Amino acid sequence: MSAIGSKARRDRIVQLATTTGLTSVEELSQLFGVTASTIRRDLARLTTDGRLARTYGGAMALSAHPEASLRQRTGEAYDAKRAIARWAAAQVQPGETLLLDAGSTVGALAHELRTAKDVTIATTGLTALQELADVETVHVECLGGTLRPLSQGFVGPLTEAALERLTFDRVFLGTDGVSPEHGICEADLRQTRLKELMARRADHVYVLAHAAKLGRRPFHAWATLPEGWTLVTDDTADPGILDELRGRGVNTVLAEPVGAL
């Protein structure tokens, strides 16, 4: 990045902290081409001005990523979620047993699966349950547990115990953010632990995430994104991030816009 004035740099730091989560001194120093001492002075000034909160080794926005409710997220990136859901539904074969996560994109997949025949679908999400509750050609299993109102999903020891009784042909996971380095991000450690347990019970693992979630680090709870999993996103995804993921052995799919299908 070319050199910019100190005020513009501080404004950009606040923007980054608000949109991508925690910012570190090292990352900011490299990004702006200035010394770590300069960044520390910037962070001190922003903290004094009440624009950021200092953390060990960096800073975060004062209103650091309050978790949006499922209702708020349902309308975001609507076309991209439909495209991702249609691609995912097309992978399902008759007779398979599927596991669906909570979340709006996986909820869109549940809607696409309303026309499925001879499949069993277990889910931790209320949205999927609502979509499939009246579909007679789909056998539905609910993995109960502790309900998280914001995500409309079940978590906790009861959910984990139910998983131990089942295996699946495919699992479809949602996420709040995707990082090639860190994996998939959620607001709650119970969610990330559950995703890892869900993945262990399935032959094929898919992460459904529209392009705006790639490179985001809105929270500090992570699950790994290991080699062999498949990330399904839309055709506006950052090519650089996709290349990083492929370099780590993650399969990537760009779902075509619905109108192009």
pLDDT digits (tens, 9 = 90+) for 212-247: 899 988 788 899 999 999 999 999 999 999 999 999
Question: 49-63, 82-96, 176-190: which has the highest mean pLDDT?
Answer: 82-96
Share of the chain above pLDDT 70, in %: 85
Q: φ and ψ at 208, to 5 degrees?
A: -100, 115
Segment 11-30 mean pLDDT: 75
Q: Taking Cα atoms as reference points, which of 186, 168, 87, 91 lies closest to residue 123? A: 168
> Which residues contact residue 19 at a Cβ distance below 8 angstroms, ignoring those fewer than 6 apart?
216
Of the two residues 88 and 43, the one the predictor is more confident about is: 88
Considering only 2-16, 27-41, 193-207, which range has the smallest mean pLDDT? 2-16
- For 42-51, the pLDDT digits (tens) are 888 887 776 7
What are the strands, taking DSSP E only, across 124-197?
138-142, 146-148, 153-155, 168-173, 177-179, 183-186
Are the beta carbons of 113 and 212 closer than 8 angstroms? no
Are the beta carbons of 137 and 145 closer than 8 angstroms? no
Q: Taking Cα atoms as reference points, which of 244, 197, 214, 215 lies closest to residue 99? A: 197
Question: What would the two tokens of residue 136 be?
Answer: 């007679």
Are the beta carbons of 98 and 121 closer than 8 angstroms? yes
Q: Is the pLDDT of residue 3 over 80?
A: no
Question: What would the two tokens of residue 153 be?
Answer: 């999903």
Q: Residue 66 and residue 218: Cα distance in Å, rounded?
A: 9
Q: Is the pLDDT of residue 72 over 50?
A: no
Segment 78-91 mean pLDDT: 94
The pLDDT value given to residue 1: 47
Considering only 51-55, 130-134, 154-158, which range has the smallest mean pLDDT? 51-55
Consecutive H or E run containing 202: strand 202-208
Of the two residues 48 and 177, the one the predictor is more confident about is: 177
CA 198 to chain CA centroid, nearest Å: 15
Q: Taking Cα atoms as reference points, which of 241, 188, 186 lies closest to residue 212? A: 241
